[in-house]
Amino acid sequence: MEQTKGTRDLFLEILTKIGCQYDLAEEEGDNRILFAYQGEKFVVDASNDNRYIHIWDTYWEHVELYDIDEFTRLKKAINGSNLNNSVTTVYTIDEAGSNVDVHSKSTILFVPQIPDIEDYLRVELNAFFRVHQYVGIEMTKLREQEEAAKV
């Protein structure tokens, strides 16, 4: 019976193949892998016991918590993004810092049987950049619509 590579080991191998350096979490049993792709920092939770990986892109956008108009735009843009993109986007509130922080997550199957697995991973990582663009464009549109309504 052929022994297949575990998900975590496969992911680390593919990261190396696509030219990404990575750091592993230092605590025993912590499955997080930190790496950069096209200048963006990602965190992945990958275990050899699970066939799926969880990819996080955290703190990639911020708005002032008490800027109600901008916060409202952000919520609308995130809702639209979640309807139109495969990557899920959420916000968290940092009351101490008076910020609303934006994060994105994707959960994907990651097994050796996936054809062109390097491209498969690149496509998924590039989806995070599309989400960044989508949210930014939508927030700009909402600002412009509000300005046009004032005229």
pLDDT tens by residue, 122-150: 999 999 999 999 999 999 999 999 999 98
- Yes or no: say if 11 and 120 are a contact pair by the CB < 8 Å rule: no
Cα–Cα separations (whole angstroms), residue 50 to 7, 25, 125: 7, 18, 20
- DSSP helix/strand/coil, 108: strand
What is the model's pLDDT at position 151? 76
pLDDT at 3: 53
Write down all domains in the chain, each with its CATH number in brackets: 7-150 (3.30.1460.10)
Read off the amino acid at residue 99. N
- DSSP for 37-62, written as a single string: ETTEEEEEE--TT-SEEEEEEEEEEE
Query: Measured in whole angstroms, how far is the alpha carbon of residue 68 from the centre of its chain?
Result: 25
User: pLDDT digit string (tens) for 2-52?
Assistant: 457 899 999 999 999 999 999 999 888 899 999 999 999 999 999 999 999
Cβ-contact 110, 122 below 8 angstroms: no
Residue 4: per-residue pLDDT: 75
Average pLDDT over residues 46-65: 97
The DSSP letter of residue 104 is: E
Mean pLDDT of 108-130: 97
* Reported pTM: 0.92
Q: pLDDT class for 77, splitting at 50, 70, 90? A: very high
CA distances from 15 to 19, 37, 47, 118 (A): 6, 9, 15, 8
